[in-house]
Amino acid sequence: MYYLIKKNQKKLLAIFAAGLMIVFILPAGLKNGSSAREHGRPIGQLGKTIVYTEDREQARSDWKLLSQYPAFIPEINPRGAVPYTLHLGESLFDQIQKHNELFFLLQKEAEQRGIRVSKDEVGNILKNEYPFSAMGGDTEQLHLAMTHFLMVKGLRDRLNSDIKISEPIWTHNLAGSQQVRLNLVEFNTRDLKASLPAPTTQQVEDLYAKYKGVEPEAGMTPADDPLGFGYQVPNRVKLQYVSITRAQILAAVRAAKPEYDWDVQARQYYYGHQQDFVRPAPATQPATAPATQPSTTQPSTQASAAGTQPSTAPATQASAGPTPAVPATPTTRPYAEVKEEILAIAMKADADKLQKDVADALQKRLAADYAEHRKTNPTTRPTTGPAVAGPTTQPSTQPTGYASYGYLEQVAQDIQKQFHVLPEVHQIGEWADTRQLGREPGIGFARAGERRFSEYATQDAVPFVTDPARKSDSLLQVLQPSEQLSDFSENAYVFRLTDASPAHPADLAEVRARVESDAQAKAAYDAALAAAKKLADSARKDGLLKAAVADHRVVVSTGAFSFDQRMPKIPNFEADFMSTAALTDKAHSLLSDATPANPHPVAVVEMPADKKVVVAELADVTLDIPSDRLALMKIRTIANEQQQGSEMLAQSWFNYDAVVKRLDYKSEEPADKNSGS
C-alpha cells in the first residue's frame, strides 16, 4: 500500500484537492438552497425575466425605510414635515402605498430607460439634503434604498420635463393681477323705442304664441329669450292656515303659575349659575383718580404723555398724582337685567311640551274632521272660493261646514278651552303663486322638514302633479290639513288649500297690453344690437373714438378694475349685477385677444337685464403688482402649473395598471396579495 501511494502520489493529490473543493462548495449549496431559492419563490414575470419575492420585499423594505424619515416639502405641506418619499408627488406616493410591487417595477422601468444614479449623487443626497446618517441605522441599506428611490425619481423627473407652460397660460394667470380700463358706447332700447312703429297684430300674436308656455321671472332666462318674456300663469293657490305662536305658548306657561313663584325660581337659578351671567371685562380699565383730582387730569386726556406709550398699553401718569391704571375685572350682570333670560330658560321645557300638545291636538282634530268630510264629499274642491282677499279677513260668502273659514275659528276656540292658548286663523283669499307665498309674513319662512311652505303648497299638491310616477299619498289634497311647519322663531303652522289653479297660458286678451309692450321692447333691442354690431365693425378698423364720432355717439371711459373681485364693480359704470358680470367677462376676453398688432380689441356686449347693448374697447392695461415682483411671480406660476400638470400626468402614467401593462408584468399571486404596503 505504501509503495502504491508513493507511486501514484500526484494522482491522489489531485483527487484529494478536487474532493476538498466539493466539500467547501456543498455546505453553501445545502445551506442556501438552489440558485432559485436564493431569491425566494417566483411571484411573477417581467417580460421574460422571473420576479422573486426577494425582489418585492427588497423594494418594499427600501420604501418603508425612506418613508419613515420626515422632510419639509412646501408644495406638499407648507406647514409641516411629511414622509420623505412624498418627493415623488402625491399621486405616485399613493399608488406605491397601495401596490407594494410598483416601486420595484418602476426601478426596472428606470433601468430599461437608461436611468442611472452615481454613488457620489447618492452620497451627497444622504449627506446634504437630509442627514440620514445622523439618524443611525444601516448605512449600506440606506445607500441602496436611496439609489433605488433616485432612479424612480429620475423616471418621474424625465416625465415632468416634457410638461411645458405656454405663454397663454402665463398670460391667463397674470390676468388676475392686471387692471383694465374700457371705452364704452351704449345703445339703450328706451332711446330707440319711441322712434319705432307700434307692433303689428301679427307681431303681437307671434310673440305671445312663442312665450305663452314660459313663466315670467322664472329665474335664469333661456338663450333664445334673453329679455325674459313669458305669459304662463304659474301654479297658484288659495288657502287658510292656523298658527301657534311661541309668544302665546310662553304667555300661557307663565300664566299657569303666580309671578312670585316664577321670581323665586328665577332668583334660585341666578344665584346658582352666576358664572353664566358674567359680563366680560373690557380690554383695559381707566385709572382711578383721587376724589380731589380734576377730571381733566385723567390719563385718558393726557395726549402728550400717551404719545410715548405703545398703542396697546394702558395709559399711565407721567408724575405722581392720580392712581395708576388697574387691571380690568369681569363683572356679574345684575338680576334685573337677566331675569327675562332666566325665565325663558325656566319655562322652556314646559313651553315645548305645551306647544307639542297643542299642535298634536290641532293636527289630530283637523285630520279626523277631514276624514269625515271625505266620506260625505268625495271631491275636495269647494264649489265657491272666498270672496274677499286678505290674510286675516273673513270672506262675506263662505262654504259651509268643514270647508268654511268659520270651521277653523271654531277649532281654534276649542283648542283655547282645552289649553288656554288661542291659535290664530289666517286666510289668503286671492290667487297666490310661489313667490307671493314666500313673502307672506310668518308662514312664508316656515318649513315642513326640508320643504319650504311656498313649494309645499304650490308643487306637492294633487292638482299640480301630472307625472304618474309622483302620484302618492303624500301629495296634498284640497282641504286636507298639511304636515306641521315651523319657522326660526319656533312658531308652528298648519295650512290647507281651499282652491288650486295649475299653471296655464294666460288669455291673450288679458295680457295683450303687456305683449304689445314686449313686442316693441324686442324690436328696440334688436335694433340696438344691430346698431352696436355695425359700430363695432367700424371700430375694429378705425378705433372706437373715430367710429363713434362718425356715428354721432358718445364714448364713456370706465375706471380701472381687476378681475379678482367676488362682486364685480366697474368704476363709472352703473348697471344690473348680471350686466356688470357680462362686461367683466368680456373685458377678460378682450385682454386675452390683445396683441402688439391689435392692442385695443373691440367686442359687443349684450345686457338684456338692462335692456341695452354696449360696444366695449380695451383702452389700456396696467399691472397691479410692482415690476420687480413680476419675474418672481412668473417663476412661481410656472412652478405651480408644472406641479399640477405633473400630478395629473402621474395619475395616468404611473397608475399601477398602466405600469403593469407597459412592462408586460404578469403576477402569479392573487390580486389581494399585491395590494397594501
CA distances from 208 to 229, 230, 610 (A): 9, 8, 22
d(CA 251, CA 117): 84
- Would you say residue 88 lies in a domain? yes
Say what the pLDDT of residue 634 is. Answer: 61
Question: Which of 103-117, 211-225, 474-488 ranks highest by mean pLDDT?
Answer: 474-488
In 294-394, DSSP assigns E strands to: 331-332
- Higher-confidence position of 382 and 474: 474
Same structural domain, 555 and 652: no
Same structural domain, 26 and 42: no
Same structural domain, 492 and 367: yes
Same structural domain, 363 and 448: yes
Same structural domain, 419 and 476: yes
Quote the Cα angle for 54-56-60, to 5°: 115
In 306-409, DSSP assigns E strands to: 331-332
Same structural domain, 377 and 239: yes
- Phi, psi (5° rounding) for residue 88? -80, -5
Instruction: Among 452, 484, 502, give the residue marking a domain's end.
Output: 502
- Would you say residue 485 lies in a domain? yes
The pTM (predicted TM-score) of the whole model is 0.55
Residue 416: pLDDT over 90: yes
Write down the mean pLDDT value for the chain. 79
- Would you say residue 386 lies in a domain? yes
Mean pLDDT on 51-69: 84
Q: How many domains does the chain have?
A: 4
d(CA 66, CA 561): 50
Could you count the other beta carbons within 10 Å of the beta carbon of residue 594?
16
Helices (H), 35-115: 53-67, 90-98, 102-112
- Would you say residue 276 lies in a domain? no
Same structural domain, 401 and 544: no
d(CA 465, CA 455): 13
Same structural domain, 241 and 375: yes
Same structural domain, 431 and 528: no
Say what the pLDDT of residue 547 is. Answer: 95
- Would you say residue 486 lies in a domain? yes
d(CA 273, CA 448): 36
Same structural domain, 498 and 515: no
C-beta of residue 456 within 8 angstroms of C-beta of residue 476: yes
- Would you say residue 600 lies in a domain? yes
- Would you say residue 280 lies in a domain? no
Mean pLDDT on 470-488: 89
Same structural domain, 483 and 544: no
Residue 501: pLDDT over 80: yes
pLDDT digits (tens, 9 = 90+) for 97-141: 888 788 888 888 888 888 888 888 888 888 777 655 445 556 788
C-beta of residue 507 within 8 angstroms of C-beta of residue 471: no
pLDDT digits (tens, 9 = 90+) for 326-384: 556 778 899 999 999 999 899 999 999 999 999 999 999 999 999 999 988 876 554 33
Please, which pLDDT band fits residue 638 given cuts at 50, 70 and 90? low
d(CA 471, CA 462): 8
Same structural domain, 431 and 544: no
| 576 sits in which H/E element | none
Please, which pLDDT band fits residue 191 given cuts at 50, 70 and 90? confident
Which residues constitute the domain of residue 366? 235-246+350-502
- Would you say residue 64 lies in a domain? yes
